[in-house]
Amino acid sequence: MAAMTATSVVPSIGSIPKQDEEWRAILSPEQFRILRQKGTENRGKGEYTKLFDEGTYSCVGCATPLYKSTTKFDSGCGWPSFFDAVPGAIKQTPEAGGRRMEITCAKCDGHLGHVVKGEGFPTPTDERHCINSVSLKFSTEKSSE
């Protein structure tokens, strides 16, 4: 059995079903466009692209912890990049062509970005989780591990 080096794809457990009107009430127009309509923010414009403080990046839609700062790296792509997610926090769905996987929050199904594999970055997974900053909320609070 091969060792698992990337985030496991798991089914949504305890998902948050909401109608568009409910999402519009809690998200900004830009957050709604990205999380609910699968948009992409402009390259290099995101709040967290160059942030490398210690902490946790959570889903702006449902507050689920998604990424730890220890997995963030500077890929130079213009969006926050991570090499792995918090176990069970995301879902990956293949896109046409198979090179990229769409990433969504496992709890609220909000669109986060994409996974690109095999680019040769010196990371443990050789994956780049390219995430829209507007999909995230950063917290410096330490978790009890």
Q: Which listed residue (59, 62, 105, 130) is catalytic?
A: 130
Measured between alpha carbons, how far is 93 from 71 in angstroms, rounded to an integer?
Answer: 21
57 CB burial (10 A radius; 0-12, 13-18, 19+): buried
Instruction: Count how many Cα atoms sit within 13 Å of the Cα of residue 138 in the half-sphere of its side chain.
Output: 18
**CA distance readout (Å), 127 to 28, 36, 71, 118, 142:** 30, 24, 11, 6, 25
Which residues on neighbouring strands pair with residue 58, listed in sequence order? 65, 137
Q: Based on the residue annotation, tell me whether 130 is a catalytic residue of this protein.
A: yes
Length of the chain: 145
Which amino acids are annotated catalytic? 130
